[in-house]
């Protein structure tokens, strides 16, 4: 996860009245809302499904049901994957009457119940108590305001009584279970202490981790940008918000555009046009464009692209050149070359490398570098010289500022 992101976990147990099996099709609507409403750089989305769902329907069918959401950035945790690490990192959990949702509430995480069959539960059970105290998802209403309300009103001790009911012997389960199992077998216990292995901490950069990587964004991205005027002594600053499928922008419209005409990146300058360095009169200059990954399953959507994206190509400079040739309607091609760097080819053939400086803690900036390409697009779209960015650029996304180093290479 990058700085400023919130992790929203969708969790379901198995059975016909679970969130996954609900007859009212709550889950499909929820996945649509997660895809369309939540900006992809402000929220990371994960799904944790009970292993019996995978076993009962088969991995191929489960993946088919979730494929569109995965293409829009949903990370699906494998059936025996690191769900505990994901749960520990979650900012909010949308779930049901399963144990994972209960554990989330017990560790103080905000919980929203998307399904909860009270009739299936013993009223005296701890899980039934969760159903009496946790708020319910309103599936026919916008999701983002419900998440904002959930986080604003939550207190870590809201479900303190559930924490107390989660275990009668905290920290002792390994010893108690081993003693029971060996007793049932009529064998003496080993002399070594019984313990559970510690969970791996989330890691940075290229270090190994049990946390699943973010799914590639293979849905068209509607990108809203704001180019902010800056004082001579300050670096240019561009705010970027991306929505999967281009469908979330309606809920978060950009301010009315400046009356000043916007120059197209691919436009050929004429003597009647204002110089590219003309000062802009207002404090914020909104714009929008569409960014599409070249590996998108529906290749017809590439015709929408102002900016074509790719990642981890063995020869990124060559790929950008070929991408501009293949997709002549697009204005730029950008390839992510490292977790903090992307390479962008401009319409005139120049290559621009955008690299994020390390964060205050010294660790590599983990924002998706494709965001930086969209910021460059916004700058170029306004007719601003790229050379003005050589001293640096600040990109703001998910409420976090990323300081970029910019270098320009002649056409090749």
pLDDT value for 299: 92
46 within 8 A of 77, measured Cβ to Cβ: yes
Cα–Cα distance for residue pair 404/357, rounded to 1 Å: 6
Cα–Cα distance for residue pair 376/354, rounded to 1 Å: 9
Q: Which two tokens stand for residue 257?
A: 């555009």
pLDDT value for 1: 62
Burial (CB < 10 A; 0-12, 13-18, 19+), residue 387, is exposed
Report the C-alpha dihedral over residues 180, 183, 189, 194, rounded to 10 degrees: 0
- Which residues touch 308 (CB under 8 Å, ≥6 apart)? 291, 292, 293, 294, 302, 323, 324, 327, 330, 332, 333, 334
Cβ count within 10 A of residue 178: 15
Q: Which residues pair with 196 in a beta bridge?
A: none
Cβ count within 10 A of residue 286: 18
| Alpha helices, H only, 239-359 | 316-326
Cα–Cα distance for residue pair 148/19, rounded to 1 Å: 21
Cα–Cα distance for residue pair 91/402, rounded to 1 Å: 22
Nearest to 311 by CA among 357, 373, 397: 373
- Interstrand relation of 6-12 and 92-95 (parallel, antiparallel or unpaired): parallel
Cα–Cα distance for residue pair 263/240, rounded to 1 Å: 19
Per-residue pLDDT of the chain in tens (412 residues, 90 and over written 9): 677 889 999 999 999 999 998 778 898 899 999 988 999 999 999 999 999 999 999 999 999 999 999 999 999 999 888 899 899 999 999 999 999 999 999 999 999 999 999 999 999 999 999 999 999 999 999 999 999 999 999 988 888 888 888 888 888 999 999 999 999 999 999 999 999 887 766 554 444 444 556 667 899 999 999 988 666 778 999 999 999 974 444 444 443 333 333 333 333 333 333 333 333 333 456 899 999 999 999 999 999 999 999 987 889 999 999 999 999 999 999 999 999 999 999 999 999 999 999 877 788 888 999 999 999 999 999 999 999 999 999 999 998 999 999 999 998 7
Cα–Cα distance for residue pair 348/326, rounded to 1 Å: 16
Cβ count within 10 A of residue 27: 24
251 within 8 A of 234, measured Cβ to Cβ: no
Cα–Cα distance for residue pair 370/147, rounded to 1 Å: 26
């Amino acid at each position: 996860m990058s700085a400023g992101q919130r992790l929203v976990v969708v969790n379901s147990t198995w059975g016909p009245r679970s969130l996954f099996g609900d007859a009212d099709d709550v889950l499909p609507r929820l996945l649509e809302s997660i895809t369309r409403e939540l900006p992809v750089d402000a929220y990371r989305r994960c799904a944790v499904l009970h292993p019996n769902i995978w076993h009962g329907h088969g991995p191929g069918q489960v993946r088919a049901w979730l494929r569109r959401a995965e293409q829009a950035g949903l990370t699906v945790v494998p059936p025996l994957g690191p769900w505990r690490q994901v749960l520990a990192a979650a900012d909010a959990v949308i779930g049901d009457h399963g144990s994972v949702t209960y554990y989330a509430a017990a560790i103080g995480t905000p919980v929203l119940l998307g399904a909860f069959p009270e009739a299936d539960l013993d009223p005296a059970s701890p899980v039934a108590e969760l159903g009496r105290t946790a708020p319910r998802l309103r599936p026919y209403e916008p999701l983002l305001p419900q998440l904002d309300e959930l986080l604003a009103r939550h207190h870590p001790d809201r479900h303190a009584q559930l924490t107390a009911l989660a275990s009668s012997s905290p920290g002792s389960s390994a010893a108690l279970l081993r003693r029971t199992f060996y007793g049932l077998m009529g064998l003496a216990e080993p002399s070594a202490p019984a313990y559970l292995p510690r969970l791996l901490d989330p890691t940075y950069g290229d270090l190994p981790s049990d946390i699943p990587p973010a799914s590639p964004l293979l849905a068209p991205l509607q990108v809203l940008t704001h180019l902010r005027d800056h004082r001579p002594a300050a670096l240019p600053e561009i705010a970027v918000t991306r929505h999967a499928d281009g469908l979330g922008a309606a809920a978060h419209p950009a301010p009315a555009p400046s009356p000043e005409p916007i120059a197209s990146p691919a436009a050929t300058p004429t003597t009647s046009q204002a110089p590219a360095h003309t000062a802009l009169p207002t404090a914020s200059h909104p714009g929008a464009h569409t960014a599409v990954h070249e590996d998108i399953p529906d290749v017809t959507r590439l015709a929408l692209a102002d900016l074509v994206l790719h990642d981890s190509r063995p020869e990124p400079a060559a790929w950008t050149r070929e991408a501009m040739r293949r997709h002549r309607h697009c204005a730029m091609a950008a390839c992510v070359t490292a977790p903090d760097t992307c390479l962008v080819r401009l319409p005139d053939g120049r290559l621009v490398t955008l690299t994020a400086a390390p964060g205050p803690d010294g660790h590599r900036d983990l924002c998706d570098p494709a965001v930086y390409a969209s910021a460059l697009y916004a700058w170029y779209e306004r007719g601003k010289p790229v050379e003005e960015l050589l001293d640096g650029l600040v990109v703001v996304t998910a409420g976090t500022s990323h300081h970029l180093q910019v270098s320009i290479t002649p056409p090749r």
